[in-house]
Chain A
Amino acid sequence: MRSSVSVILSNPPPDTTMSYPDYCTNPHHHQTLLVLVRQVGSQLKSRSFQKLYERISRVGHVKVSDSNGSQRPVWVTYRREYPVENNDWGDFQTHRRVLGIITIGQVGSQSDLNDICKQHESLKVKYSSTLYDSRCIILGLNPDGTIYEADSRNPSRGTSPEPNGGIDGGSHPPTINGHAQSTHIKKISAGSTDRDSGVYETVSSEDKPTDSDSHSESPQGMSEGMMDLKIDTNHVNGSDSGSESTSEVGCCDDSKMDSPRDSAVDSAPDSAHDTSQSSISTSASQSSRLSLQPPSNFKTRALFYPTSEHAVNIESQLQEFVSSLFWVLESKRLDKSQEKLERPPLLCAPFERKDFIGLDMDSRTNKKRCVGRLRKQLADLTLQAGLPTEAIVHYSHAADTLRNCNDWLWLAACFEGLCAASVVMLYPNLRRSFGLQRYSSLGVGGNQGGSGGIGNRSRNGAVNTNSLPTGLDPIIVKQTSKHCLSPDDIIDKYREAIVHYSKYRNAGVVETEASIKAVHVLIEQKRYLMAAEFLSNVVFINLQLSDEEKIARFNALADLYHQIGFHRKASFFRRVAAMRCVAPQNQQPDWGQCYRLLLQTLEGYKISLDPLEFRKDGSQGWPALQVQILQELVGTSRRMGQNALCTRHQAFLVCAMLPHLSESERKETANMLESLSARSGSGPAPLVVQDTGVIIPAVNFLNIPICRSVRVQPPAVGRKAEKKLSQEAEEDTGPFIFSPFSSLTSNTQRAQGKMDFDWVEGDVCEVILDLENPMPFELKVTSMMLITEGAQFESWTSTVVLKAERGPQPVTLRGRPQGAGELKITGYSSTVMGVSSNCRLKFIPHMKIPFYTINVVSALPFIQILTANSNTGSLGSERAVSEESGNLHLSLSAGETQECSVVLHNISSQPVEEISIALESKMDKTLLSQVFQYSEENIQAQLPIQPGGKASVTLYVYASSDFLCPSRMMDESLETSSLVSGSEPPSLVSGGPSSLPSRQSVATSSTRGARTRRTDSSASLLSSRSGSSVRSGSSSSTQAPSSTARTRTTLNTSACTGRTLEATMQVKYSGGSGLLADYCRSTQVTVTVDVTPSLLVTRWDVLPAELPHQCYVVLDLLNCATHEMDLHYTPTKHILIEAGDSCRVPIPIDRCPLATLTQNGSDSESGWGWSSVLGNHVASLVELRWTQGPCDTPGRASLTGITFPPATHDLITMAPIHWDVQVDGQDVVGGTENTGVVGRTLELCVGVTNTSGAPLPPLSLRLTAFQDHQNGTLNYRLDAKMTTTGATKLTTPQLAEGEEFRHCCGLVFFTAGVYKVEVTCSPAAAVTQTSFYENITPAHQHAWKFAPPLEITVTDA
C-alpha cells in the first residue's frame, strides 16, 4: 500500500497552468459541485462501471432545505477524470475544486478489497486539498460484507472449503457501510461537533487534516491486510459465534447451509429501508458467513452491493452524499461571509504565486486586491450553494473592487462568474441540453459522438420559449435580481473577460473555456454569427498542448461549429483534427481515429457515401474538396489495412465524382481502383466500419458504364408464342378515334415497361442494353447479367469490352426463363474494375421505367421446317429452311404439277401435340386451292411429334396459269391478224378473273356495239380444217399461213412473261405445358412459284361438228415454252408444237344442253351470262395435256374463263329442235351416203321435234340445195340442175313440248353430181322481236341447221 501511495505522490509537482481545457464546459458549471467518479480495482468491468456511472450522473440535482427552511437547489457535476492541476485553480474559481470522490470497484477476494481501498485512499490524498467527502461503492459483497455468490439458489456445498475460492455470495440487495460500525459511528458523532449538526461526516473528512495520521496507520493497515481472511471473519463475528475454536470449515459449512433462506428474509426490510446504513442487522446466521474486511486505514464510507442491479438505493445514497457536500460548502460560505479578517489572505491563481514574491503585501491596493479576491471567492461559493442572486451582488462588488486595483485576471474571473450567475438565472435550460451529455473523459475519444447528438441546433426556437423556469415570470426575474445582467450584457462581459484573460499567457485554458461558455450562451440566444466570432477567437488562443489534446481541441471546435450550424466549418476542423492524428510529426499516427474523424466530416462536405443519396441530393457541394476528402479516406483506410473499405471508397470516388474528374484523373482513379480491387474486391453488400458501426453503403456503378436504354427483345419470329384463341377482346375505346381521357389515363400507365410479347420458358431470351463508356479508355465489363424478379430466370453472364468512344454501344444479355409467370427485369449486375455492382433500373437517373415486365409462357415445342422437293431428291436431301420462316422456291412451267414434301422437325424437348396448317395468300381463294393442295388428315395422323421426331406433309403445287391469251396481246394482234375477223373475241377474252364486274360491263357494251356490224362480219373463223363444214356466216374469209406467222412474232415479243404465285403456309402447333396454357407457336413457309409460260390459247372459235350433238372448239395454241411440246388435246389426238410455234387444233365437244343453259344462265340478265356458262361448259370438257422438255415434264391446262361471242352460242348449245331427216324413208345420220338417180324423185322428209323444255313459237323451215366445189366456192344457182317438189320454205306452227312437225318434199336432179341440201330452221320473222329466243341470245338471229348438210350423190341412171 505504501508503495502505491508513494507512486501517486511521486507524480510531478502540479503545473501552474491547467493541463487542458474542458471543451464541454458550460456557464452552469460555475454553479455545480464537482465530484470525481473513478473506477478502482481491476475486477470491475468497464461496462458495468459505465452503467453505474450513468445512474450516478442522473443524480445531478438535489434539493436541500437549508437552515432557514428554504429549498436550495444543488447541482453536481460528475467527472471521471480530473487533472490535479485544474484542481489547483480551485481558489481562482471554486467550481474547479473536486469536492467529492466516488469510487466504484468490484471485489472477489480480500486482496481485491484491499486494493480498492488503497486506491480510494490514494485518490483522496491526491485531491486532499479540496476534498469534502468521499464514497466507495464496492460490488460483489453483501451488505454485511460477505462475498456475494452469483447462483445463490444452488450453493455448491463443500466444493471449496477454502474461503478464497468462494468468490460469490448469497443474493443480497443492499447496502451497508462495511467496516467496523462501532468506531465509525463514534467518529461521526465526533465530527458533527465540529461542523453543522445533521451532517453525516465521514471518517475521511475528519482524517483529512492529518494526513500523517493515515500514513502512520498504514503499517497497521498493512498488517491487517496481510492477515488471513479467516481471522477477519472471526474478528467481525466473534461476538456472535462465540467460539474462536470453531473450525473455519465448520463456519463455512454453516453459512452455506443457511444463507439462502436467511438472506432472503433479511434483504427485504433492508432494501425498503432508505437509510439502511443505520440499520445494521447482522443476524446470527449471517455471522457465520465468509466476510471480507477492509483494511483499517480505509476510513471511507463504503457501500456494498452484490451487483450493480442490486444497488437500488444508490440514488438516495448519492443524495445523502451530495447534501453532505452541500453542508460543508454552505458552512464554508457562511464562515467566509461572516468573518472580517484583519489581514485577508491573498488568494491567487497557481501561476500568480511567484509573481507576488517580494511584493509589498501590506500596501493599500494589495489589501484591496485581497479583499476583492476574497469577495469574488465568496461569490463563487454563494453561486455554488444555490444562491445566484446573492452571488451576483457579491460579484458586482468584487468587480468594482478589483477594477480599481487593476487586477485584470480576477476581474475577468469575476465577470465570468457574473455572467454565469446571470445565465443560471436567465437560461436554466442551458444546462438541460448538456446535462446528460457524456462528459469528456480523457481527451481524445470523448467527443466522438458529439457531432451527431448535440449538434443539431433547433432554429425553430422551441428551446428558447422555455428558457425561464416554469412558473417564473420574466418580470419577476428582473425584479428579484436587479443586478442580473441582460442577455446583451452577458456577452459584453464575456467579451471583456476574454480580453482580460488574453493578457495572461497562463490563463489560456480559462480563456478558452470562457469563450466556449460564451458560445453556449450565444447559441441559446440564437446569435450564431457572434458565436462564430467567439469560436474563431478560440482558434487563435495559443495553448501548449500535446498532439492528442490538439486533436481533442479541433474536435471540440468542430462540435461547437456544428452546434451553431456551421457545418462546413465544423467539417473543416474535424478534418484538421483527423489530419493531426496522422501528421508526419505525430509519433504514433492513429489511422483508425483519423478515419473515423474523416467519416464525420462527410456531412459538411455534402458527401453521402451512398451514391444514390449523393446523386439525388440537388446540392452537389464542392467537388474539389469532396475529391480531396475521398482521397484522404481512401488513403487512410488503406493505411488502416482495411482493403475492402479502401476499395469501396475509391469506387465511390470514381463513381460519384466522375462528372468532376478530368480525363486524366478518370484514368488515374480508375487505375488505382483496379489495383485496389485486385487486393480486395468490392461486392454489392454494405460494409460496416469497425468500432463505430458506421455502415458504408455499397457502390453500384450506375454510371460506369452508363446504361442509356434497355431493349427487351421479342423472341424470333418462329419462336413467338401466341394465344391459341385470341381472347384479347378489342378494348372498347368508345366511339371516338381519339379521346383525351383514355390517352391521359390508362394507356400511358399501362404501357410502362410492359412488353406486348411473351417469352417462352426454356428459350433463350435476349435483352439489349445500350451502354455508354464514360471513361477515356477501354472498359472491360465482366460477369454482366440480368437481375430479375418473379418467374425463375437463368441469367447468363457475359463479358463485354466497351470501346473508348462516345455513343451507346449495344450489349446483349441472354438468359433462359425457367418457369412460367411474370418476369420483371429490374436491372443488371456487372463487375467493372473489380467492383461488382447491382444496377437497378429504378436507380439509374435517366431511366424512366423502373422495370420491364414480360410474361413468360410455359414451355412450348419448337419445330424446324425442312423442305424437300420430292421430284428431285429423297428425304436425304432435305434442306433446312432458315429457322424463323421457311422459304420454298419453285420454278414451274405453267400447267406443271410438283409435289413438295415439307418436313416438320421437332427440335425442342416438348412433344408437338397439336398442329394446324393454313395457307395464306393474296391470291384468290379458288386459285389458291387450285395451286396448292395438301392433306390435313395426313399430318394429323402423325401427331404427336416426339422431341427429335419428324413429320412430313406433302404439298402439291400446280402451276396454275391463265392459258387464255391476255387481252392486250390480242388488241395488238387485232390490227395485224386478219384471222380475227373484226368481231368481238379479243375484248371478250379476259386475262384476269372472268367474274370481274367492271370487265363484264365493258364486254357487254362492246357486245352491243358489235351487233351493228354483225351483217358484214361474222364471228367465225375459218380454218382449213373446217373448210368443209357448213358456214354459219355468209361471208367467208380464209387466209391463214401468212397471218399465223405474223401472230407468232407478235406473241413472242409481247407478254410471254411468266408470273409468280406466292403463298404462305402457316403452321400453328403446340404441345407440352404450353398447350395447357393455351399457347401455341406458329411458323411459316413461304412458297414461291415462278410460273413460266408454256402454252397459250391465242384465239378460239367454235365450228359445227359432223354429229348434231357435237361441235368443234377450234383453238389457236402457242407454245411459249422453250421446248418442243407434245400436246394431247383429246384423249386420242396429239400434236407436236415447236417452241415458239403456234398451231390450231379442233377439239370436238358435246354441245351444251339447253337445260344447263336455262338453269345456270337464267339469272343473268344479259347474254354475257350465256357466254360464261357456255365457256364453263367448254372448259369442263376440254383439257389440254402435254409433255415437254427433256424430262417430258407433264402439264395440263384448262380453258377456265373462256368465253364465246354470241354468234357462236347456237353452235355450242344444243338446238332446241331435233332433226329427223329421211331420204326415201331412210334416216339420215351424219355421214350417211345418200344416192339418187337423175330424173328420179327423191323424197326428203324433214321432221322437227321440239326438244326444248318450252313450247316453240312458229319457225320458218327452209331447205336449200347447193353444190360445193371443194375450192371454197359454193354454188347455190342450181336452177338448171335440179328442182324441188313441194315447198322449200314454210312456217311451222307453234310446237308444243315434244311435238313433232313433219314436212316432205321431193327433189329431182337433172344432172349427175354431188349435191348438198342445207336444212335450216329459224324463228319466223313475225315473232322475232318478242319471241322466246330473245331471252336466249338477244343479239343474234338464230338459225338451226341440220348438220352436216345432207349430201346426195346423184348418178346417171
Chain B
Amino acid sequence: MAVCVSVIGKENSPLYIWVGNGKEELHLHYLAHTALDVIQEKVSAVNKTPGDTRELYLGLLYASEEYKVFGYTTNTRIKFVIITDAANTTLRDNEIRMMFRRLHNMYTNVVCNPFYVPGEQITSREFDKGVGALVAGN
C-alpha cells in the first residue's frame, strides 16, 4: 500500500509524516515536499473557477520512476499527501480516494481534541494507530 503518508499544515510545513519501513525517508520527504508545488498550483487553479463544491481529492500529483504521489486538500488548507509504490498497480484511484477520506476523518478527530492546537505537530497515539491501519489496507 502506501509508503508515505503526510499531513501538511496550512503554512506548508509538515504536521505529521509516516514513512514505511525500509524506505529512504529523506527521499520520500523530498517527494512530499515537491508535491506541494503541484498542490498549490492545482488549488489555485480551482480557486479561479467559482464553484462551491470543490473536489478535495486532487488525484495523482505526479509520478516518479518509483513512486506515485497523490494529494488531497481540506477546506482549511490542510494537505494530505500519500505516496505509493509505482509498481503497485492494484491500487485503484477509488481506493486512494477512500484512504484520503479516512485520513481526513482521523485528522478531524485530532483537531476535535481540545488539547490540540491547530498547526502543531500531531502526536496523537490514536492517529498513529489510524495511519497504521490505513497503510496496512484494512
Contact = CB atoms under 8 A, between A and B. Distances in A.
Interface of A: 528-529, 532, 536, 540, 561, 565-569, 572, 605-606, 618-625, 628
Nearest to A575: B30
B26 A628 contact: yes
B29 A624 contact: yes
Contacts of A618: 11
Contacts of A619: 11-13
B62 A532 contact: yes
Given A619-B13, A620-B11, A566 B29 contact: no
A565 B13 contact: no
A624 B65 CA distance: 23
Interface string B22-47: 00011001100110111011100100
Contact of B13 (A528, A567, A569, A623): A623
18 contacts: A529-B41, A532-B37, A532-B41, A540-B65, A565-B41, A566-B34, A566-B38, A568-B36, A572-B33, A572-B34, A619-B12, A620-B11, A621-B12, A623-B13, A624-B25, A625-B29, A625-B30, A628-B26
Given A568-B33, A623-B13, 14 more contacts: A528-B41, A529-B45, A540-B65, A565-B40, A565-B41, A566-B38, A566-B41, A568-B34, A568-B37, A572-B34, A619-B13, A622-B14, A622-B29, A624-B14
B16 to A, nearest CB: 12
A572 B30 contact: yes
Interface of B is mostly: helix
A623 B14 contact: yes
Nearest to A533: B62
B13 A622 contact: yes
A1090 B65 CA distance: 96
B129 to A, nearest CB: 23
A985 B46 CA distance: 105
Contacts of B38: 529, 532, 566
Given A566-B34, A568-B36, A572-B34, A621 B41 contact: no
Contacts of B45: 529
Contacts of B14: 622-624
A536 B34 CA distance: 12
Contacts of B11: 618-620
A529 B12 contact: no
Range of interface residues on chain B?
A: 20 to 34
5 nearest interchain CB pairs? A566-B37, A619-B11, A620-B13, A569-B34, A568-B34
Contact of A621 (B13, B40, B65): B13
A567 B26 CA distance: 18
A685 B62 CA distance: 44
Contacts of B34: 566, 568-569, 572
Nearest to B6: A622
Nearest to B17: A624
B62 A536 contact: yes
A606 B45 CA distance: 23
Contact of B37 (A569, A623, A624, A628): A569
A820 B4 CA distance: 65
A565 B25 CA distance: 26
Contacts of B25: 624
A252 B65 CA distance: 75
A540 B63 CA distance: 11
Nearest to A561: B37
A528 B13 CA distance: 23
A1084 to B, nearest CB: 53
Nearest to B26: A628
Contacts of A605: 33
B4 to A, nearest CB: 12
Contacts of A620: 11, 13
B65 to A, nearest CB: 8
B56 to A, nearest CB: 18
Interface in B56-115: 62, 65
A567 B38 CA distance: 10
Nearest to B13: A620
B86 to A, nearest CB: 13
Contacts of A540: 65
A565 B34 CA distance: 11
A599 B33 CA distance: 18
A815 to B, nearest CB: 41
A569 B69 CA distance: 14
A621 B30 CA distance: 12
A605 B34 CA distance: 10
Nearest to B31: A572
A181 B20 CA distance: 80
Nearest to B29: A624
B62 to A, nearest CB: 6
Given A536-B62, A624-B29, A625-B29, A567 B12 contact: no
A66 B25 CA distance: 64
A1242 to B, nearest CB: 119
A530 to B, nearest CB: 10
Contacts of A624: 14, 17, 25-26, 29
A298 B65 CA distance: 56
Contacts of A568: 33-34, 36-37
B41 to A, nearest CB: 5
Contacts of A565: 37, 40-41
Contacts of A625: 26, 29-30, 33
Contact of A567 (B29, B37, B65): B37
A606 to B, nearest CB: 8
Contacts of A567: 37
Contacts of B33: 568, 572, 605, 622, 625
Contacts of A606: 12
A615 to B, nearest CB: 13
B27 to A, nearest CB: 11
Contacts of A621: 12-13
A618 B41 CA distance: 20
Nearest to B45: A529
Contacts of B17: 624
A568 B30 CA distance: 9
Contacts of A569: 34, 37
Nearest to A526: B45
B85 to A, nearest CB: 18
A619 B14 CA distance: 10
Contacts of B12: 606, 619, 621-622
A1257 B52 CA distance: 119
A536 B65 CA distance: 11
Contacts of B62: 532, 536
A569 B35 CA distance: 8
B26 A529 contact: no
Nearest to A566: B37
A76 B51 CA distance: 47
Nearest to B30: A572
A561 B42 CA distance: 15
Contacts of A628: 26
A623 B34 CA distance: 14
A929 to B, nearest CB: 68
Contacts of A561: 37
A536 B36 CA distance: 15
A249 to B, nearest CB: 75
A524 to B, nearest CB: 16
With a 10 A CB-CB cut-off, give which of B11, B37, B62 has the most chain A CB atoms: B37
Nearest to A459: B44
A607 to B, nearest CB: 12
A528 B48 CA distance: 14
A922 to B, nearest CB: 55
A623 B36 CA distance: 15
A399 to B, nearest CB: 31
A618 B11 CA distance: 7
A883 B13 CA distance: 58
Nearest to B11: A619
B120 to A, nearest CB: 11
A625 to B, nearest CB: 6
A619 B11 CA distance: 5
B45 to A, nearest CB: 7
